[in-house]
Each structure stands twice: as structure tokens, then as C-alpha cells.
Amino acid sequence: MLTDEQITKFQKLYKYHFGKKISREEAYEKGVKLIRLVELIYKPMSEAEHQQLQERRRETKDL
């Protein structure tokens, strides 16, 4: 699922943000879990859904 290049980049990002080196195996596992999390929570919004959301925000702005 992740390329060698992506695993290496994830290791570098993890080290930069958390100050801890992780193995390739751990980087792969954490990377796959992160991708799965994003897949579960991210849902693209249609233009119609966006318009409905904006309208709802305008209606409830002063509440």
C-alpha cells in the first residue's frame, strides 16, 4: 500500500514532529492506519451539499 519512498518520508515526518525514530515496519503500520482514518472520515461534498451548509450557517449565524 505504501511505497518505500512514502515510508521513508513518513519516518522523517514522524521524527520531525515527535522527536522519535521509528522502524520501517512501524512507519508502514502507522502510515496505513493514518490513510485508513482519513478514508473513513473524509467525505467529499457535492456543490449542492455545500450550498445547503452555507445556507444553514447563514440561518443560524445569530443564534
Domain spans of the chain, in order of start: 4-60
With the C-alpha atoms ordered 24, 30, 33, 35, is the resulting torsion angle positive or negative? negative
For 50, the grid coordinates are 455545500
Q: What is the value of pTM for the model shown? A: 0.69
SS (H, E, C) the chain: CCCHHHHHHHHHHHHHHHCCCCCHHHHHHHHHHHHHHHHHHCCCCCHHHHHHHHHHHHHHCCC
Nearest-angstrom CA–CA distance, 13 and 31 = 11
Residue 63, pLDDT > 80, answer no
**Per-residue pLDDT tens digits for 8-36:** 999 999 999 999 999 999 999 999 999 99
